[in-house]
Chain A
Amino acid sequence: MNTRKALTEARLILIGIPVALWTLIPIYHMFLFALSSKQDAFSGELLPLHPTLNNFRIVFEEKHYFLIHFWRQLGNSLFIAITVGIITLVIAAAAAFSISRLKSRGGRLVMNCALFTYFIPAAFLAVPMYKAMGVYGLLNSQWALILAMITLASPYAIWVLKQASDKLPYELDEAARIDGATPLQLFRLVYVPLMVPSLVAIGTYALLLAWNEYLYAFLLLSNDKDITLAVALGHFLSADDSPWEVLMATGLIYALPPAAIYYVFRRYMVTGLTAGAVKS
């Protein structure tokens, strides 16, 4: 029996090693570049032989042509992500409450509209959205990106929140009604407190979606002082002699907050976001 157990374990390790390598190599490569001087980065060494934080210093002191607005762009990314997270949360929670708890007429139609939006491939909606933003006179305003990201994030948000709120016992609402609660009180005092885990998951989802977005950001914003860090990273591609090691340092700084947020909220994220999917 013991040899059989060892055999299974060996087989598992044979799966685990390729999985670990496949997952980590591109990320390790980022670290390798970010910690190397230009010379070392291009030498093909697999380990950082002379690790240096110089690239990070260049980024933080905005000491490169591509990075003169680094702090500002970091701030833009932060502002846009947080705004999208909050507004999406409010819109989606209100809609899900209305559809699921108040059983509003037309709620089903709205849910279907949201689902339909969710299923339009994002890159296809980008072109019409870009033209429409032009009509609204919002191009090159950060609000264009914020509104676009809210549009992209809220369908899934509504759907997940609706699934979660359908599970709350309906007797709670009845009890609140009998006690004379207004709809808003029901929302504020009963619904929101019970929904906290899903709300955290959805707020985080919307925030990360906005922080990570590249395509919409690069279409809707062009002024160097308004763009997000994602677009700024894309700018490095425009020159052949770009400082890739500095780019990787910037990329690492950009990738750190979402990774950290993800791990902090991991429990909420996984259960909140997969719950809807499993049900279908």
Chain B
Amino acid sequence: MSTLALPQIEPAAPSGPVRKRMSPWQTWGFILLAPYVVVFLVFVLYPVFYGLWLARHPQSYVDLVNDPIFFGSVINTLIFLIVAINLKMMVALFLSGFFIRTQPWIRWLSVLFILPWAVPSIPTILSVRFMLNPEWGIVNQVIFRISGADGPNWLNDRWLALSMAMAVHVWKSLPFWTMILIAGRLSIPGELYEASSVDGATGWQKFRFITWPSVQALYLTSLILSMIWTLGDFNSVYLLTGGGPADLTHVLATLGIRYLRLDQVDLSMATIVCALPLVLPLVYFMMKRLSK
């Protein structure tokens, strides 16, 4: 309790040969910082080191590489990152241009557009899962009614199922990134556009020479951040395909949890360690960018 009493003590009155006494302001600075520091040490730092310690056996990595599911998961993860994220960010950039327009109906649409992000993922992903059921799912029933042919078995083919998982991911997170890019576009001074209109610039030229240079940095940051988060996207794959068919649609995030559920903690941690070469450069890039 002595630290709590400190603020009342006159800092100008040194009591004994203490090495430079902390002022009450500094003391309070530490006290207020302490709760988060405790959370970080107990629930981030210790678990991370404990996890790395669990992943120390070379044998785990041999087992992991020999598991055919692992190789497939790495491929799936890369496809997810490269295809889905780039597609998503490009669409988000495009739609941000659409949603900054001021027509009332576009305002209303933008309110609805946020829904996928505002609503929790479990019920909506399960809803998509039912829509894609090959027998009674609404998608195949509509296909049957229109063409008379049976629709594809959406979640039973590796590439089709993976594409659907990527679509779910895009569906869920597109509104958020669009919102970020809208904020980016709104911070561009309107005079630039007015001046370019006077000079007779086309829409494409305005984008190329005004919009893009202004949002470029933000776009790149968003792209990297989205990649990092997508590496940890467990729900889109797990809730839609469960990793199936035959464990072919796992990504590293779901694979790690799969091993954990099978009580193979070593393999689980080894999977995560194998993902670090992907994660750490991205994290390093983001840290440099944001801690400026």
Contacts and interface: CB of A to CB of B under 8 A. Distances in A.
25 contacts: A12-B98, A15-B95, A30-B123, A46-B142, A95-B35, A104-B33, A115-B290, A119-B279, A121-B232, A123-B257, A124-B279, A126-B256, A129-B47, A147-B39, A148-B43, A151-B40, A151-B43, A183-B28, A184-B28, A214-B239, A244-B130, A252-B123, A254-B120, A258-B118, A280-B217
Interface string A170-190: 000000000000111001000
A86 interface: no
A146 B138 CA distance: 38
A190 B145 CA distance: 65
Interface string A129-159: 1111001100000000001101100100011
Contact of B118 (A116, A154, A233, A262): A262
A127 B273 CA distance: 11
Q: What secondary structure prevails in chain B residues at the interface with A?
A: helix
Interface stretch (A19-27, A50-58, A61-69): A19-27
A187 to B, nearest CB: 8
Q: What range describes how many residues of A lie at the interface?
A: 35 or more
Contacts of B235: 214-215
B111 to A, nearest CB: 8
A33 B265 contact: no
Interface of A: 9, 12, 15-16, 19-20, 22-27, 29-30, 32-33, 42, 44, 46, 90-92, 94-95, 97-99, 102-108, 110-117, 119-132, 135-136, 147-148, 150-151, 154, 158-159, 182-184, 187, 211-212, 214-215, 219, 230, 233-234, 236-237, 244, 247-248, 250-252, 254-255, 258-259, 262-263, 266, 270, 274-275, 277-278, 280
Given A23-B115, A29-B127, A182-B7, A124 B232 contact: yes
A95 B32 contact: yes
A102 B46 contact: no
Contacts of B136: 42, 44
A88 to B, nearest CB: 10
Contacts of A119: 225, 228, 279, 282-283, 286-287
Nearest to A121: B232
Given A91-B39, A117-B40, A123 B123 contact: no
B47 A132 contact: yes
A106 B116 CA distance: 39
A107 B30 CA distance: 9
A278 B42 CA distance: 32
Tell me which of A32, A90, A124, A187 has the highest count of chain B C-beta atoms within 10 A of its own C-beta. Answer: A124
A183 B24 contact: yes
B232 A122 contact: yes
Given A120-B283, A128-B47, 18 more contacts: A9-B103, A27-B115, A44-B145, A94-B35, A95-B32, A122-B232, A123-B253, A124-B231, A126-B256, A128-B272, A132-B43, A147-B39, A184-B7, A212-B121, A214-B122, A248-B130, A263-B111, A280-B289
Interface in B69-115: 95, 98, 101, 103, 105-106, 109, 111-115
A131 B50 contact: yes
Contact of A270 (B7, B28, B179): B179
Contacts of B145: 44
B211 interface: no
